[in-house]
C-alpha cells in the first residue's frame, strides 16, 4: 500500500470514530444523531437494557405473587442446571439382592448446590388454584401419576405439562407391588407408561413405586418398561407438618421432598396451604427449589 492510500485509510477511520462519538472534526458543537441513527448505533446496549427490564418485571411479578399467596419470603431462584449431571447410584440399604443393571433407587441427588426437589404423587386433587400458584411463583416440581385418579380429568395434568412439569409413572392402580407377581407388576408399570405416552406424548424415565415399596421384580419390570430412575424421598410435607427419613430431622442439599395431590377431603387445608408450608421452610433455610429432571 502507498503512503497516499495509507493516509486516506487512516483519515476514514478517524472520521468514523468522530461520527460514532458525536464529535465534529472542526471542534464545533456536535450534531446530535437522529432518533433512528441513535437506535442503530448501540444495539447490544439496547438488548441488555431490554433484558434487564424484563428481569425487573419478572421479579416484581414474583414479589406480587408472594403477597397474593401469603408467603413469608420470595422463593430463592435455583442455579442453572449442572453442565454435567451427577452420577446417580442406589442409596446404601435400598439395594435388592441382584441390583446390577437395575434402575437406581435414591432419596437424595448428589450436588453441592443448595437445592431441594419437590415431587407430588398420585393425582387425586385437581385444584386450579395450585396450578396458578406454581405458575405465578415459578416453582418447579415433578409429578408421579396413577391412572385410576388421573383419568377423572386428563386435561388438568395436560395444563400442568404445558407449564413445563414432567409427568411420571406411579402405576395404573397404586397397588402394593411386592405382593404381585412379576407379570402383574409389569402390567401396572408398563400400562401407566402407555397411558402417559398416549395422553401426553412421551414415555417417562422416572417411576415411583406406591408407598415406596418395591422388590427385585419391581425394578426388573420397571427396566423392561423403559424406566431409568426410581426416586423415593427424604422428607414428606403435609399441609400441617413435615416428616423426615433422617434421625436429625434436617433438610440436606439435593434432598427429594414428597407431597401428594390432596385437598380438604384428606387434609386440614388445601394444596396451596401445603406449598406455603413447604416454601416458607426451605426458603428460610436458604434452599432453592430446582427441577429434578435437570439433575438426572
Q: For 17-64, how does the pLDDT look when each residue is reduced to its tens digit (9 = 90+)?
A: 433 444 443 444 444 544 444 444 456 666 656 555 656 777 788 889
Cα–chain center distance at 71? 20
Q: What is the mean pLDDT of residues 189-199?
A: 98
C-alpha–C-alpha distance, residues 175 and 15, integer Å: 80
Q: For 227-275, how does the pLDDT look when each residue is reduced to its tens digit (9 = 90+)?
A: 999 999 999 999 999 999 999 999 999 999 999 999 999 999 999 999 9
Q: Which CATH architecture has domain 69-295?
A: Alpha-Beta Barrel (3.20)
Of the listed ranges 10-19, 164-173, 206-215, 277-286, the one predicted with least confidence: 10-19
Q: For 93-112, how does the pLDDT look when each residue is reduced to its tens digit (9 = 90+)?
A: 999 999 999 999 999 999 99
pLDDT at 57: 75
- The three grid cell numbers given for residue 195, joined into one nine-digit string: 397411558
pLDDT at 15: 40
DSSP letters of 178-235? GGS-HHHHHHHHHHHHHHHHHHHSS--SBB--GGG---HHHHHHHHHTT--BEE--SE
C-alpha–C-alpha distance, residues 296 and 278, integer Å: 23
Compute φ and ψ for 195, nearest 5 degrees: -60, -45
Mean pLDDT of all residues belonging to the chain: 88
Of the listed ranges 5-14, 149-158, 235-244, the one predicted with least confidence: 5-14
By DSSP bridging, strand 142-145 and strand 166-169 are parallel
Of the listed ranges 3-7, 77-81, 151-155, the one predicted with least confidence: 3-7
Contact 165, 138 (CB under 8 A): no
Amino acid at each position: 500500500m502507498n503512503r497516499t492510500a495509507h493516509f486516506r485509510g487512516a483519515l476514514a477511520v478517524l472520521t468514523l470514530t468522530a461520527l460514532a462519538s458525536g464529535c465534529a472534526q472542526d471542534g464545533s458543537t456536535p450534531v446530535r444523531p437522529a432518533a433512528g441513527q441513535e437506535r442503530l448505533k448501540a444495539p447490544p446496549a439496547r438488548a441488555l437494557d431490554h433484558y434487564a427490564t424484563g428481569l425487573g418485571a419478572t421479579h416484581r411479578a414474583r414479589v406480587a405473587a408472594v403477597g397474593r399467596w401469603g408467603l413469608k419470603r420470595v422463593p430463592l431462584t435455583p442455579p442453572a442446571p449442572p453442565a454435567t449431571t451427577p452420577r446417580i447410584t442406589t442409596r446404601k440399604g435400598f439395594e435388592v439382592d441382584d441390583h446390577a443393571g437395575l434402575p437406581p433407587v435414591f432419596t437424595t441427588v448428589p450436588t453441592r448446590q443448595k437445592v431441594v426437589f419437590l415431587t407430588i404423587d398420585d393425582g387425586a386433587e385437581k385444584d386450579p388454584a395450585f396450578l396458578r400458584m406454581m405458575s405465578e411463583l415459578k416453582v418447579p416440581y415433578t409429578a408421579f401419576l396413577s391412572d385410576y385418579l388421573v383419568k377423572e380429568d386428563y386435561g388438568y395434568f395436560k395444563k400442568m405439562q404445558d407449564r413445563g412439569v414432567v409427568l411420571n409413572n406411579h402405576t395404573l392402580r397404586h397397588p402394593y407391588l411386592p405382593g404381585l407377581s412379576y407379570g402383574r407388576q409389569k402390567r401396572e408399570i408398563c400400562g401407566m407408561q402407555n397411558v402417559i405416552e398416549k395422553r401426553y406424548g412421551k414415555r417417562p424415565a422416572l417411576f415411583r413405586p406406591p408407598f415406596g415399596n418395591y422388590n427385585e421384580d419391581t425394578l426388573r419390570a420397571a427396566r423392561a418398561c423403559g424406566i431409568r430412575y426410581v426416586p423415593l424421598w427424604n422428607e414428606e410435607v403435609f399441609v400441617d407438618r413435615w416428616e423426615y427419613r433422617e434421625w436429625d430431622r434436617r433438610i440436606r442439599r439435593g434432598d427429594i421432598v414428597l407431597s401428594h395431590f390432596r385437598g380438604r377431603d384428606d387434609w386440614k387445608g388445601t394444596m396451596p396451604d401445603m406449598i406455603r408450608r413447604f416454601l416458607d421452610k426451605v426458603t428460610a433455610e436458604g434452599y432453592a427449589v430446582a427441577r429434578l429432571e435437570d439433575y438426572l
